[in-house]
Amino acid sequence: MRRPPFRNAVNETEAVMQKTDIRLYNILFPIWLFFLWPTAVWLLILPANFAVDSLVLYLAARHLKIGERPALWRWSIVKVWAIGFLSDLVGAALIFGLMLTLDYAMPSWDTFHFPGTTLLSLPGVVLAGVLIYWGNRRFSFSKCGLGEETVRTLALALAVFTAPYAMLIPLYG
């Protein structure tokens, strides 16, 4: 009787696995991450964030009368987008940490309604804006051949206009 074609591949894989020592230390983390990642909202957030970053970068470069706007956009947009998105995540993590701390320290204070949510979100929005400024100034435009004042102005425009102000909107009430 003829063996299935994948049988030899399995045997070869088993032989390789016996020869090498493979350990999976943190196998639960990727499984846990799938509970956060596979929502359809991500399919809207990522391109919308990219479009807003592109628009702000284009308008700021146009305002500064930078001649090579398409080359600047090609060189820096992926870095600008990634830095902005990571900064938003860090700001959200700070807000989450503050919320857990305040819920533990002052359980009677309702952090989910208007004044509580806005006051709790301000440090996260400010942190995200500062990280956007610093990251874009340091990484996105450092090798573009632009002057220091131009780099500062581009980074400041991105920080001010792309900070995650939606975090200030209360979820309830």
Evaluate whether 170 touches 111 at the Cβ level (below 8 Å): no
pLDDT recorded at residue 36: 54
pLDDT recorded at residue 21: 47
Stretch 147-159: mean pLDDT: 95
Q: Supply the Cα-derived Rg of the chain in whole angstroms.
A: 23
pLDDT recorded at residue 150: 94
Distance CA 132, CA 61 (A): 17
pLDDT recorded at residue 133: 97
Residue-averaged pLDDT of the chain:
78
pLDDT recorded at residue 121: 87
Tens of pLDDT, residues 11-51: 444 444 455 444 434 343 444 344 455 567 667 788 889 99
Tens of pLDDT, residues 56-87: 999 999 999 998 899 999 999 999 999 998 99
More confident residue, 77 or 3: 77
pLDDT recorded at residue 18: 52
More confident residue, 15 or 121: 121
Percent of the chain beyond pLDDT 70?
70
Q: How confident is the model at residue 171 (pLDDT cuts 50, 70, 90)?
A: low
pLDDT recorded at residue 87: 94
Distance CA 138, CA 79 (A): 11
